[in-house]
Structure 1
């Protein structure tokens, strides 16, 4: 945890950081969003978060290079699952700093409701349907100047063990 700040100050700073991250995603500023991550980041959407990421299947299990490749595909290639591109709105609540944060990191838990929409019509399944995606998230943040960088992000979709539709956009 940031040694010179009180818990309430760290919570406020971490909340502001999460709001900034969500705004970048909602504004489709993907390169700016990616700049929030460390060079050794982990971006994980587990099916079973009780098992280590290296021992089980996941919806997404990206290290820094895989995340960079995912972003490249979203921004630079024709990607059928993102034509048209998703629009999102993130709602963040219940921000909680783990008091056991250590290793120079601040562990932040939050609940996020993500609404996703891909415009279009009946010719592609799911187009034109507003989809709510309730999640609980854990960010492991490390200090970067006056702000943070994301060392790891774990996104637990509430219905993660059920069939999922298109999740090719960034959560």
Structure 2
């Protein structure tokens, strides 16, 4: 997959198909998943609280929890649907690319359903096997409001 925009669509499809191990494999060893509390206004994950800031180890633990048949929060299992606008490349140089992708995210569990919207920002690096995620940042629209418990990955 040469086009990084295709990579972003593939990544969302893996989440929607509950292929969490394959999704996790897309992250670089030093990769991070970040959901800032202040949305796009937050400059970094260190000077203010975040909704999530997880390295590969924490992501692995979340994936293992989601797969565990005794995970109470997954009875019934959660399912997601990402609806993406076309990704736009914001910066590209020397084997790295930064993309911006507006999205709608729906997560359903049992009779309940939540809808979130925002912008996904991917920092991808080129490796010998293709693209890897160095950072996936999710800037939620109105992130500072009270949010429902999201079980999966936006």
Same fold (TM over 0.5): yes
The DSSP-based 3-state class of the residue aligned with 1:169 is: coil
Where is the strand percentage greater, Structure 1 or Structure 2? Answer: 2
In structure 2, the residue matched to 1:122 is none
Runs of 4+ aligned residues of structure 1 deviating over 3 Å after TM superposition are: 101-104
What count of residue pairs does the alignment treat as equivalent? 151
> CA contact under 8 A between 1:111 and 1:136: conserved in structure 2?
yes
When the two structures are superposed, what TM-score results if normalisation uses the length of structure 1? 0.81
Does the CA-based 8 Å contact 2:114-2:148 persist in structure 1? no
Greater CA radius of gyration, 1 or 2? 1
Structure 1's unaligned 5+ residue stretches are 1-9, 120-127
1:1-171 matched pairs, under 5 angstroms = 13-48=3-38, 49=40, 50-76=42-68, 78-99=70-91, 101-102=92-93, 104-119=95-110, 128-145=111-128, 147-171=130-154
Q: Which runs of 5+ in 2 are unaligned?
A: none
The 1-side partners of 2:55 and 2:113 are apart by 30
